[in-house]
Structure 1
């Protein structure tokens, strides 16, 4: 067991997000080359997406346990997808400025990205929601839901939503935006977002390489399904 821990630490020291992104996409490329039916390709892509979403979901949630104490002013977190992007003519567009539908998000089942930062608030919400039901508050619980990548990003009400996720209780409502509008115009290398038409970096940082993997796999899956119709 001791040797395994040392080996794991050595591995993490030499692997960076760009490499991890590339390895994940190599797995996808091999899948597309070696699996001959679209059904098998989609089955495997869906499995990869599901596992990575779970990894990302709990990694963001548990940061509060693994890091030093945060200051009470909270965190400033980048949006998971670029606010602005550009079409082939150079027109600046935004999925966030489109009219949003309302999505009901199950905290037990969906990939909900939440970033708790205050230890005292976290403990209070664990006690409260551990003993009671989670109650959705439309004035406090605010989030975006991105389809078809199926990622929900919380930007308010983080500590109570974290407790809801941990106890697998309740739901929230989120403004839903369509990421497919980015597919023909934006790509990522696991570190940055780029304009597909001129390869220039976009203004927004990539929040996590796993979001990049989910985005690129979802794009591939979207094209497979589109070609099949």
Structure 2
């Protein structure tokens, strides 16, 4: 085995919590994301146990909220440069061992394609910041919180749309006017972002019964 290691830590965006990007520096990324922080500590513990040197770290946020994508390849190209320069292996936490939803087949595929020596670490609970962190329990809790928050967003969005439709008459530009009003009021879209005329039109079209009394 090589004597050096590069840590590779990845996560997904959480739009309902307005978590859409990572800081570019590794310390900032670890502060911003508990998942990144866990992976970093897990790799560091393994590096110490194996008497290796941690010579580089990469934090990556994918583009989808619900799955890993091919976008990881670009980050792995950078990882290959680090590993080649330092004669290092690439270590990551294989969440899929205990949580299929958090699997990343693209990471493994592109690492192999790029000729990286990939070390998959089991997602064991460890102490992070003085507290026990179990990634599986964390992901389960996050899914529950997501369902609850999405329900809140839906109720708030429907109420906001209903108010806007009652105040804005039918006619050209109505959907844009509704979107602008919702954004001014701070009402989030069903995915947690800003409103556009198009997503207003789609929500009203799909859930018209909820607004039938205020559509004129």
Q: Same fold (TM over 0.5)?
A: no
State the TM-score, normalized to the length of structure 2. Answer: 0.25
State the TM-score, normalized to the length of structure 1. Answer: 0.24
Asked which structure has the greater RCO (Cα within 8 Å, sep 6+), the reply is 1
Q: Which has the higher helix share?
A: 2
Q: Which has the higher strand share?
A: 1
